[in-house]
Amino acid sequence: MFIKVLPLFLALGLFLGNGSSPADFEYIGSAKCKSCHNSPAKGAQYKVWAAGPHAKAFESLKGDDAKNPKCLKCHTTMGHTDKDLHYTLTQKEGVGCETCHGAGSAYKSPAIMRNQEKSIAKGLIIPDEKLCRSCHNEESPDFKGFDYKEYLKKMAHPRPSDD
Tell me which H or E stretch contains 64: none
Banded model confidence at residue 87, pLDDT cuts 50, 70, 90 = low
Q: What is the pTM of this model?
A: 0.81
Greater pLDDT, 11 or 157: 157
pLDDT tens-digit map of 22-33: 667 889 999 999
Q: What is the pLDDT of residue 73?
A: 93
**Measured distance CA(127)–CA(48) in Å, rounded:** 16
Task: Please report the domains of the chain, with CATH numbers, ordered by start residue.
Answer: 21-155 (1.10.1130.10)
Amino acid at 160: P
Amino acid at 46: Y
Query: For residue 140, how many C-alpha atoms fall within 13 Å in the half-sphere facing its CB?
Result: 17
Q: What is the pLDDT of residue 163?
A: 39
DSSP one-letter code for 34:
H
How many other C-beta atoms are found inside a 10 Å radius of the C-beta of residue 90?
A: 16
Q: What is the pLDDT of residue 77?
A: 93
Greater pLDDT, 116 or 161: 116
Q: What is the pLDDT of residue 110?
A: 93
pLDDT tens-digit map of 91-149: 899 999 999 999 999 999 999 999 999 999 999 999 999 999 999 999 998 899 999 99
Q: What is the pLDDT of residue 21?
A: 61
Answer yes or no: is pLDDT of 2 > 80: no
pLDDT tens-digit map of 37-81: 999 988 899 999 999 999 999 999 999 999 999 999 999 998 878
